[in-house]
Amino acid sequence: MLGFVNSHDGPRLAELGTSCPDHFLRTKIKPLFVDWDPSSRDVETLKSSITDGLVQYRKDYEAYYEKCKRPDSPAMRDPNPTVVLIPELGMIAWGKNKSESRVTAEFYNCAIEVMRGAEAIDQYEAMGQQEAFDIEYWPLEEAKLRRMPPEKELDRQIIVVIGAGAGIGKATAHRLVKEGAHIGCVDLDEAAAKETAQEIIDKYGPGIGVAGTGISNCGPSIGLVCDITNRESVARMFDNVMLAYGGIDSIVITAGIFVPPDKTGHIEDSLWARTFGINVTGAYIVADEAYKIFQRQGLRGNIVLTTSANAVVAKKGSLAYDTSKAAANHLARELAVEMAPLVRVNAVAPATVVKGSTMFPRDRVIASLTKYDIAFSEEESTDELREKLAAFYAKRSLTQTPIEPEDQAEAIFLLVSSRLSKTTGHVIPVDGGLQDGFLR
């Protein structure tokens, strides 16, 4: 590809268009070949050249349509290019998802090989415009396009889920990809993040590697490691998501930590700091780095934090956690003000979610069962013990039902979709109805 975009004949051949219907139905009649001198190393000039090139490409496509259309031709389709060629950089191929983008790239690679072979023998000749138009706007092709299923609600969206290795984050990743989103599964536990991503890939299709990132399988999801308390780690994670998918539309932060006090009820300073470092400062660092990306993109974005019903209900035994979640509640409001109108920032506030939560290891579950005098056996599995504790917590709510990760995922889906597009700066409780947590 670099050999083609850097060659003397590349611009001439690209302008001629493709010679095969299978090619141009994916790549359009021709690509956009960006007029840019790479020796300048001027990124702003490159951006300007891309912008000017897009404007001219649309005009060319409209002229092609007007010249070749017939009385019964379907309406003009999207006039934007699906293939962009840039000297020294290579090719960018576009589609509504990673799979379509990859196929478009493969088709134009094939088109280049045809050009190379034809030029080696004699001279490359492209398909005539009228013939190409009659194929592109063939009534049967139009009928096929009309029969395609409508796009899903989150098609073309890139969403980063932090804490995707377990619990609410894992459930959220699966919920959002179901609606068409591409998911960056992120976790401090790299193996857990990759496991969630692989579950999605196994269900929705494989991917390809991303050069220079260590990402070996980039399809509808990728698994990445990140320490949200480390700004460099967060920036590196976002860089890898953008290399894989081209940008970011929404960030969901479900990562959190609960540190119980010692037997005397005291919590060490270092553990207090760690609680706030992850539950508050980490969320801020992620949002701050994401905002830089949203500003560069110039596109509206979403950030969703995960707080807790404990943020408004004071109780004994979780001083650091509850206080940090109260701070996270207000962080969502402050970020909403700071980032408006470009980015919406909201939060979901679960009641205690026991199922699948890394914050409820076996020893903590047993301690809670003992505290509430709930009968259990050491022979019972951790999941069985969690179910008992969840059932106890459910009795304290108005709906009398356990709160599960999927319940939070549903609320998060609503917030990153367009369904609540006028909502920002709010915390949505998903707690089964806790009277003590009602708005005051």
Q: Which are the catalytic amino acids?
A: 321
Extract the tokens encoding 372: 């509430």
Can you tell me the distance from the alpha carbon of 335 to that of 291, in angstroms, rounded to the nearest whole number? 10
Strand partners, 85: 33, 91
Closest CA to 85 of 26, 136, 27: 27
Strand order in 301-306's β-sheet? 221-225, 182-187, 158-162, 250-253, 301-306, 343-350, 427-430
C-alpha distance from residue 196 to each of 19, 118, 189, 200, 223 (Å): 42, 46, 11, 7, 7
Task: Give me the sign of the Cα torsion angle 231, 237, 242, 248.
Answer: negative
Task: Give me the sign of the Cα torsion angle 289, 295, 297, 302.
Answer: positive
The helix/strand/coil state of 101 is helix
325 near 359, Cβ under 8 Å? no
